[in-house]
Structure 1
């Protein structure tokens, strides 16, 4: 499996990723926008991932514009997983409408976040 992922997210979760899928080949996008595979820089036309993970790390400390631009243009993708909670942003609508690509996101956290917030409010008052 070929995975396109922000390098900081991969380094943070490398052990867990390889425990789930030992054969994963991670295409890593560095903070400067360069893409590597096994430590070797690649031209974007040589990057052919099947899966892209748009992690929250990317939103806060990464080259999100370069990453998302690549994902939009990539024809080899079969699945995109986003750390964003919704599809409101036009970029996520465009990603979600890519033909033949499954797009999933993090919408399942709403109930537990609501419970946490209510607990914090009740604790405060």
Structure 2
């Protein structure tokens, strides 16, 4: 029995579910020395190609104070390279290295493995993704 009222709060359910899903990824990411935010940054670069720091931050919903150290660690690990823009040196482009690309390929099926662990049907999972996307789209940031 929930005596805290937390189970009735959508924000708590989303928070707890997010932590649970991230925990599914953790052993796989720990094995390759990645955090979840680093993993999703690499995944975006693998699927969309090089991106500016600004665009990557917008896609990941991360501010520069969070994104900059994350990118610095990935660069130190040899998984990305940063490159100043040729027309505007304030613009920094992020590129996957070959090592970063291989790592993304190695982890390519991780979302599917995590989804299978949830016990949801394909329809439930698609519905959940749709609902979460609608929430994100409707809540001002």
**Alignment TM-score, normalising by the size of structure 2:** 0.26
* Structure with bigger gyration radius: 2
**Alignment TM-score, normalising by the size of structure 1:** 0.28
| Structure that is richer in strand per residue | 1
Larger relative contact order (C-alpha < 8 A, sep ≥ 6)?
Answer: 1
| Structure that is richer in helix per residue | 2
